[in-house]
């Protein structure tokens, strides 16, 4: 592209994305979202079964909307590794004392574990009460399986269902999860747990270094984190258009009729998200963080909008770090510790969703899960939510292993894949807000201790 054209395009994009005073970015993103649904649904209706029209709609989705959405998402992913490393290690190093790290880590992990377990139990209970999969029409089941089995096979290929591993092989597999031999290899695959372990150890080791040199290193890391957040600022200018494109691409291709077929399942899962978000979290905000839930959630709107539109906890991390510190009054060392950890390990929405899918698919296939199997489902959902990657659809490969463990056919996941993007948007909001609520709790607990 010649330079003049590039400059014109760049200035047009800048003009388009300038936030007029009075129109906050998150509102523009919401408008993009709604327009994406409307235009996508209209395109899907217009195409109907006509092959020519369908290819036009598919080209607009794959050739135009997809790249715009991807540029936005990739700009966000671009900063995740340096940002997580810098903010987490600074968060730990600034604690200055490893005992504080132990206390804060204990609180954080305890909160993560309890809230994730609650969410998984809630999901399973809802599915029991409503039974959306019982009496599911066989023809619909078959057509969904036919339509989405290729996608299911793709997810399945990402996890190994190896039988007959020796004890040493099993132990090594678990170790590889968080302490691989080659940390750079893991990081290039965006495996976040090893990166987190490295950042925690690095920050902890910094606390042992003389103050002047530690401060130097922290100042340097803080600058890196700030610069990364600056890159996110550039990406966010694209957000309203990218969100329009991402949503259009999904709705135009799959249409809203899938939603009708799976309406009850979708409603139950969404209801679960709403209960966690607007009942469970407010209770935690009021009791553990001692803050006004309405005010806390209202200030978190930009975080929720980013999570909803990117379907990625990792991509939302820069926004949550900024909002937690600037608008929610969380100290940087607490936000820098809890949020990166939470983006990888704390996924309440994912645990709820996974519990729902396992039960739903079991109901559709007429499989009865015993009470002990259901307890196992809860545990597996909690652990697979910890291991799931904070990217769109990050939980699906592990979810298939959970299904296999309890005797539910893993490829049955194909039945729900068509509506997964929508549910992914919702569960990412629940995931990220779980971390933000945890920040409020840890902030209050730590300041109560300081005051004591």
Nearer to ligand ASP, 40 or 392 (CB): 392
- Candidates 427, 435, 436, 446; binder of ligand ASP (CB under 6 A) is 427
CB atoms < 10 A from the CB of 234, how many? 11
Applying CB under 6 A, among 431, 434, 439, 446 the residue interacting with ligand ASP is: 431
Tell whether residue 350 is a contact of ligand ASP (CB under 6 A). Answer: yes
313 binds ligand ASP (CB under 6 A): yes
Instruction: Give one DSSP letter per residue of 203-240, joined into a string.
Output: HHHHTTS-HHHHHHHHHHHHHHHHHHHHHHHHHHHHHH
CA 244/CA 34 separation, integer angstroms: 8
Which helix (H) or strand (E) is 148 found in, with range? helix 138-157
Establish if 312 lies at the interface with ligand ASP (CB under 6 A): yes
Q: Indicate whether 446 belongs to the interface with ligand ASP (CB under 6 A).
A: no
**Residue pair 353/123 in contact by the 8 Å Cβ criterion:** yes
Tokens of 75: 């700009």
Residue 68 binds ligand ASP (CB under 6 A): no
- Residue 384 binding ligand ASP, by CB under 6 A: no
Tell the smallest beta-carbon distance from residue 281 to ligand ASP (Å).
Answer: 16
Among 191, 424, 443, 446, binds ligand ASP (CB under 6 A): 424
Interface residue with ligand ASP among 306, 346, 374, 395 (CB under 6 A) is: 395
* SS3 of the chain: helix, strand, coil, percent, to 5: 80, 0, 20
- The closest alpha carbon to 433, from 310, 307, 337, belongs to 307
Near ligand ASP by CB under 6 A, which window of 6-14, 367-375, 400-408, 423-431? 423-431
Distance (Å, whole) CA 55 – CA 61: 10
Closest CA to 72 of 269, 233, 293: 233
| 392 touches ligand ASP (CB under 6 A) | yes
What is the distance of C-alpha 82 from the center of its chain? 18
- Does 317 bind ligand ASP (CB under 6 A)? Our answer is no
Of residues 61 and 391, the one with the C-beta less far from ligand ASP: 391
Q: Considering beta carbons, is residue 203 or 272 the nearer one to ligand ASP?
A: 272
Q: How many CB atoms lie within 10 A of CB 168?
A: 8
391 near ligand ASP, rule: CB under 6 A: yes
Q: Which of 100, 393, 401, 406 binds ligand ASP (CB under 6 A)?
A: 393
Q: Which residues bind ligand ASP (CB under 6 A)?
A: 311-313, 347, 350, 388, 390-395, 424, 427-428, 431
């Amino acid at each position: 592209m010649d330079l003049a054209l590039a400059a014109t395009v760049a200035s047009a994009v800048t003009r388009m994305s300038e936030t007029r005073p009075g129109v906050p970015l998150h509102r523009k993103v919401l408008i993009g979202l709604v327009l994406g649904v409307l235009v996508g649904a209209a395109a899907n209706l217009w195409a109907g079964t006509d092959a020519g029209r369908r290819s036009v709609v598919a080209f607009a989705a794959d050739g135009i909307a997809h790249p715009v959405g991807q540029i936005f998402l990739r700009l966000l992913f671009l900063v995740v590794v340096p940002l997580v490393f810098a903010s987490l290690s600074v968060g730990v190093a600034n604690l200055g004392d490893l005992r504080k790290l132990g206390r804060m880590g204990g609180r954080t992990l305890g909160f993560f574990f309890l809230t994730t377990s609650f969410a998984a139990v809630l999901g399973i209970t809802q599915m029991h009460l409503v039974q959306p999969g019982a009496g599911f029409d066989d023809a619909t089941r078959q057509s969904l399986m036919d339509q989405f089995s290729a996608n299911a096979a793709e997810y399945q290929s990402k996890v190994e269902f190896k039988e007959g591993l020796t004890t040493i092989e099993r132990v090594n597999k678990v170790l590889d999860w968080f302490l691989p031999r080659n940390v750079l290899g893991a990081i290039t695959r965006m495996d976040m747990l090893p990166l987190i372990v490295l950042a925690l150890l690095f920050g902890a080791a910094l606390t042992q270094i003389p103050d002047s040199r530690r401060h130097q290193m922290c100042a340097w890391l803080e600058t890196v984190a700030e610069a990364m957040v600056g890159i996110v600022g550039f990406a966010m200018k694209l957000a309203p258009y990218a969100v329009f494109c991402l949503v259009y691409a999904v709705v135009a291709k799959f249409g809203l009729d899938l939603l009708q077929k799976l309406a009850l399942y979708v409603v139950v899962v969404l209801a679960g998200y709403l209960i966690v978000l607007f009942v469970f979290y407010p209770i935690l905000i009021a009791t553990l963080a001692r803050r006004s839930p309405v005010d806390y959630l209202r200030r978190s709107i930009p975080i929720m909008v980013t999570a909803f539109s990117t379907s990625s906890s990792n991509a939302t991390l820069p926004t949550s770090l900024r909002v937690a510190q600037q608008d929610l009054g969380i100290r940087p060392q607490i936000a820098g510790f809890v949020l990166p950890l939470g983006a990888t390990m704390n996924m309440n929405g994912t645990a709820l969703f996974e519990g729902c899918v396992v039960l739903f698919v079991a109901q559709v296939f007429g499989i009865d899960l015993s009470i002990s199997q259901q307890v196992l489902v809860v545990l597996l959902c909690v652990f697979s939510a910890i291991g799931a990657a904070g990217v769109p659809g990050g939980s699906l490969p592990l979810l298939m292993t959970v299904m296999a463990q309890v005797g539910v056919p893993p490829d049955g996941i194909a039945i729900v894949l068509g509506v997964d993007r929508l549910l992914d948007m919702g569960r990412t909001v629940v995931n990220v807000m779980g971390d933000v609520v945890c920040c409020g709790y840890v902030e209050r607990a730590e300041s109560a201790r300081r005051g004591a």
